[in-house]
């Protein structure tokens, strides 16, 4: 597993590879022509924006609440299946 200080210095394409391999995929949504995937990696949240083979990685500020980060994904989460468990 790569440490976060090294991860931050990686180029965007390499960060995307690490997230897809070692990150925890939490949810995915569409934003215009972009596919946006939310990951948890080393106790932080990241989004991978992908369109036409191009990938952009965004990291949330440590001050952002989990609720603020997850809000755009609420429509994709099936709460009924969680409540039935």
Spatial contact of 45 and 64, defined as CB atoms under 8 Å apart: yes
Instruction: Enter the pTM of the model.
Output: 0.84
Separation between Cα atoms, residue 84 and residue 53, nearest integer Å: 38
The yes-or-no verdict on residue 59 having pLDDT over 70 is yes
The yes-or-no verdict on residue 17 having pLDDT over 90 is yes
What pLDDT, on a 0 to 100 scale, did the predictor assign at position 40? 92
The yes-or-no verdict on residue 76 having pLDDT over 80 is no
Instruction: Using pLDDT thresholds of 50, 70 and 90, give the confidence band for residue 82.
Output: low
What pLDDT, on a 0 to 100 scale, did the predictor assign at position 74? 85
């Amino acid at each position: 597993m790569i440490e976060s200080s090294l991860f931050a210095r990686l180029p965007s394409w390499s960060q995307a590879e690490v997230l897809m391999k070692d990150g925890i995929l939490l949810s995915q949504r569409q934003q215009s022509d972009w596919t946006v995937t939310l990951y948890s990696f080393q106790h932080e949240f990241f989004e991978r924006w992908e369109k036409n083979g191009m990938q952009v990685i965004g990291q949330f500020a440590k001050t952002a609440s989990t609720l603020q980060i997850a809000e755009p994904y609420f429509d994709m989460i099936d709460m009924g299946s969680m409540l039935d468990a």
